């Protein structure tokens, strides 16, 4: 039975892969490794980027800090009403927070104060935390901590509480009533959330002060105007818009992305070296075989088709294998070794899970950076040989 697709040619190509087994196994191995590296880099980068996007969307519209000699100092709450009176401002929220240095571990904790643990956030906290009891938290005036801090405190023999050292040298004992889940650790790893009163106590802040104000704006396009008005009213303030924060986060990400780019460049360079090596010549056996095929009636097109199938099968199987391995490595094993390049959002090393993020564009980039290039590198030298007279090639 005659098939429309030339299965004989395809069979011949597959057979040729096995005939040159050791060489092709080597190529398959190297190619798979390189695609694995490339795709792992891109998957991690994507995963972090999607996490970053979520963070960026949650950023405040405007943050206002007070400066003294260029240094940020506390903001008096008395300024709140004037800011609220600006047209377009929906809300002004004073924030009380700070970095607490834990000398035993040599790490900073980001301590964030909230007005109180309100019932309306019960579901949210329950969703964010492991082993969490809201009523106990409310009763204790305790704290919620990131998983990194939890681990660090356990390593330092703190079980269920932590003693903060206040500016006057006395201790403030705060109970741990919840730990943020590991999959939020990229943002929450070094974070402690506790009532504002406790934070003021720990940092020695006056009750009529906040660290900064965050401002919610009704119309995002009005943000630059409102920012200008704030600096007019209070010239001693620094006004940071969502856009500024985005740029700053983006810079941080790009710095880390730069490290990945270096890895990416190295692996791509290696890949092209191998491709160049392959493209720079056809072995004498392959050359002779091409001559024989031409001599028995194969056209250049037939030879190129055969070489195409051969290269496609090798590169596509490598591509699929590498992608599967890479997904397993990044999303199941959490990218050991490579992920260390990306962490550093927080002062503690976060034990976060890389969230799965499917991006067709990434698959397309990896595919087009590898498979067609390999196919071209295989076909071009074969085409050069096939274009010669069969007699000359076989000689």
- Residues of this chain that bind another protein (CB under 8 A): 1-3, 6-9, 12, 15, 19, 289, 291-302, 387, 389-392, 394
Residue 299 CB, shortest distance to another protein, in Å, is 4
- CB nearer to another protein: pick between 131 and 395: 395
**Do residues 313 and 13 lie in contact, with contact meaning Cβ atoms separated by under 8 Å?**
yes
CB 143 within 8 A of CB 222: no
Smallest gap from residue 333 Cβ to another protein (A): 40
The residues near 113 (Cβ < 8 Å, ≥ 6 apart) are 95, 96, 97, 194, 195, 196, 197, 198, 199, 200
Measure the CA–CA gap between 109 and 149, rounded to whole angstroms.
8
Closest CA to 145 of 193, 104, 96: 193
Helix (H) or strand (E) run with residue 29 in it: helix 21-57
- Token pair of 131 as six digits: 């082993």
Q: How far is the CB of 12 from another protein (least distance, A)?
A: 6
Least separation, in Å, of the C-beta of 297 and another protein? Answer: 3
Shortest distance in whole angstroms from residue 33 CB to another protein: 27
The smaller minimum CB distance to another protein, of residues 3 and 68, is found at 3
Nearest by Cα to 187 from 19, 367, 54: 54
Helix (H) and strand (E) counts for the chain?
A: 15, 13
Q: Alpha helices of 204-241 — where are they, by DSSP H?
A: 223-233
Q: Which lies closer to another protein via its Cβ, residue 54 or residue 387?
A: 387
Least distance (Å) from another protein to the CB of residue 386? 9
Sorted by sequence, the CB contacts under 8 Å of residue 110 that are 6+ apart come out as: 97, 98, 99, 190, 191, 192, 346, 347
Q: Which residues lie closer than 8 Å to 138 by C-beta, 6 or more apart?
A: 116, 117
DSSP assignment of 128-143? HEES--HHHHHHHT-E
Count Cα atoms within 13 angstroms, Cβ side, for 36: 18
**Cβ proximity to another protein, 53 vs 389, nearer residue:** 389
Q: Which is nearer to another protein, 7 or 333 (CB)?
A: 7
- Of 33 and 304, nearer to another protein (C-beta) is 304
Distance, CA of 113 to CA of 197 (rounded, Å)? 8
Q: Which is nearer to another protein, 316 or 383 (CB)?
A: 383
Specify the residue, 168 or 392, whose C-beta has the smaller distance to another protein: 392
- Least separation in angstroms between residue 30's CB and another protein is 23
**Shortest Cβ 14–another protein spacing (Å):** 12
In the complex with another protein, which residue's Cβ is closer, 3 or 361?
Answer: 3
Least separation in angstroms between residue 312's CB and another protein is 17
Least CB distance from residue 294 to another protein, whole Å? Answer: 6
Alpha carbon separation from 351 to 147, 152, 304 (Å, rounded) = 8, 12, 50
Residues 6+ apart with CB under 8 A from 121: none
In the bound state with another protein, the residue whose beta carbon lies nearer, of 53 and 285, is: 285
């Amino acid at each position: 039975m005659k098939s429309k697709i030339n299965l004989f040619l395809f069979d011949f190509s597959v057979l040729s892969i096995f005939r040159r087994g050791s060489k092709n196994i080597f190529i398959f191995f190297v190619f798979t490794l390189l695609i694995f590296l490339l795709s792992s880099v891109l998957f991690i980068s994507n995963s972090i980027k999607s996490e970053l996007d979520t963070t960026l969307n949650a950023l405040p519209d405007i943050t206002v800090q007070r400066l003294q000699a260029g240094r940020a100092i506390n903001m008096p709450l008395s300024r709140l009403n004037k800011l609220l009176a600006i047209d377009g401002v929906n809300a002004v929220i004073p924030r009380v927070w700070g970095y607490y240095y834990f000398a035993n571990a040599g790490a900073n904790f980001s301590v964030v104060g909230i007005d109180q643990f309100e019932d309306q956030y019960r579901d949210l906290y329950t969703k964010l935390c492991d082993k969490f009891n809201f009523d106990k938290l409310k009763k204790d005036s305790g704290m919620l901590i990131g998983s990194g801090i939890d681990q660090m405190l356990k390593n330092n023999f703190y079980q269920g509480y932590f003693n903060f050292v206040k500016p006057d040298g006395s201790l403030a004992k705060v109970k741990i009533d919840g730990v943020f889940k590991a999959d939020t650790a990229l943002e929450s790893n070094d974070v402690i959330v506790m009532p504002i009163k406790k934070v003021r106590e720990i940092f020695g802040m006056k009750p009529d002060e906040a660290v900064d104000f965050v401002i919610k704006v009704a119309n995002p396009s009005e943000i630059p105007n409102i920012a200008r008005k704030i600096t007019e009213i209070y010239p001693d303030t620094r006004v940071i818009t969502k856009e500024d924060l985005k740029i700053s986060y983006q810079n941080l990400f790009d710095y880390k992305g730069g490290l990945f780019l270096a890895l990416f460049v190295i692996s791509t360079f290696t890949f092209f070296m191998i491709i160049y090596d392959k493209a720079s010549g056809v072995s004498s056996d392959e050359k002779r075989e091409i001559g024989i095929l031409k001599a028995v009636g194969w056209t250049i097109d037939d030879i190129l088709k055969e070489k195409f199938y051969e290269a496609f099968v090798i590169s596509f199987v490598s591509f699929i294998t590498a992608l599967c391995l890479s997904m397993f490595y990044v999303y199941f094993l959490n990218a050991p070794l490579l992920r260390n390049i990306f962490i550093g959002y927080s002062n503690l090393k976060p034990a976060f899970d890389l969230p799965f993020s499917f991006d067709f564009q990434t698959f397309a980039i990896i595919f087009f950076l590898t498979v067609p290039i390999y196919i071209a590198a295989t076909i071009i030298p074969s085409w050069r040989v096939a274009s010669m007279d069969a007699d000359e090639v076989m000689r």
